[in-house]
């Protein structure tokens, strides 16, 4: 199978291309230099010339706090950029997989979010990713929309790398303890996405590593597994001011993976252990 992957320089795009290649598929990896998704002409030219059967769209504007000040560029990338990709997939009758986020929900309550729940984003990033979802469903017949959360991978910045770096210079750190979700290792996720793109089991999915934690619990486990003696103190999100509001409930129901015969991702603790070995 020949697949175009956007955002190849990001955490997920990098791993998806590696996974496709490992399985003997032809991966066409592009980033902004090869295909600026905000340029409709470039998107049509590159995807058409690539002669692929599917597009896995990982590229996104993901700076959640910066997005509050840079609404236009965030929307150009996440909403209009996704629409540009979707329109070409529609024209060429390609499968399209769009990587979305738990941030499309309002983060209230404690019930895990269902794939078909109503979406009420809390911040600019979540709103523009929601608009991207709408663009995909409006234009693409054969689509997968896969929502992920709390992402970490070898290629790029993430919470684990931030904690490890801070742990080298701080004996004590404060981390938010009233936001609950599931971390997602891009290596594990890439395996699932490549499994999925071969099927016709289209629709909305949630995919994260198994198990729940708060950011505080995640940090404690990071230092435990890394063998670092760092005292982590729990704080509330209100004590840790951020420009963009975050959801307190990022629990996501993944039963649809089971229903369609897809393998769930391993536990986040297991994923963390493998990741630490990979980066150290």
Among candidate residues 125, 130, 205, 275, the one labeled active-site is 125
Do residues 25 and 1 make contact, with C-beta atoms less than 8 angstroms apart? yes
DSSP string, 64-132: HHHHTT-HHHHHIIIIIIHHHHHHHHHHHT-EEEEEEEGGGS---SSSPBPTTS----SSHHHHHHHHH
- The two structure tokens encoding residue 61: 């504007």
Write down the residue that tokens 């990098």 correspond to: 14
**In terms of Cα–Cα distance, which of 152, 179, 191 is closest to 17?**
191
Is 187 an active-site residue? no
**Interior CA angle at 102 toward 100 and 105, to 5°?**
115
Catalytic residues: 125
């Amino acid at each position: 199978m020949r697949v175009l992957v956007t955002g190849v320089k990001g955490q997920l795009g990098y791993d998806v291309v590696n996974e496709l290649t490992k399985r003997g598929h032809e991966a066409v990896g592009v980033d902004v230099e090869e295909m600026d998704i905000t340029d409709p002409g470039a998107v049509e030219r590159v995807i058409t010339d690539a002669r692929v059967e599917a597009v896995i769209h990982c590229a996104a504007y993901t700076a959640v706090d910066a997005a509050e000040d840079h609404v236009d560029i965030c929307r150009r990338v996440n909403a209009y950029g996704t629409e540009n990709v979707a329109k070409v997939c529609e024209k060429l009758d390609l499968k399209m997989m769009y990587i979305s986020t738990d941030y499309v929900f309002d983060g209230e309550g404690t019930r895990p979010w269902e794939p078909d729940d109503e979406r009420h984003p809390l911040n600019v990033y979540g709103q523009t990713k929601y608009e991207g979802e709408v663009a995909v469903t409006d234009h693409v017949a054969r689509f997968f929309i896969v929502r992920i959360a709390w992402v970490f991978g070898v290629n790029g910045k993430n919470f684990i790398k931030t904690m490890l770096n801070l742990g080298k210079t701080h004996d004590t750190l404060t981390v938010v303890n009233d936001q609950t979700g599931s971390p997602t290792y891009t290596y594990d996720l890439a395996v699932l996405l490549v499994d999925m793109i071969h099927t016709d089991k289209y629709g909305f999915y949630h995919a994260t590593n198994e198990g729940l934690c708060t950011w505080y619990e995640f940090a404690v486990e990071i230092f435990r597994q890394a063998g670092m003696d760092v005292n982590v103190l729990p704080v509330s999100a209100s004590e840790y001011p951020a420009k963009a509001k975050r959801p307190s409930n990022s629990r996501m129901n993944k039963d649809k993976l089971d229903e369609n015969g897809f393998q769930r991702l391993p536990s986040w603790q297991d994923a963390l252990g493998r990741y630490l070995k990979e980066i150290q």
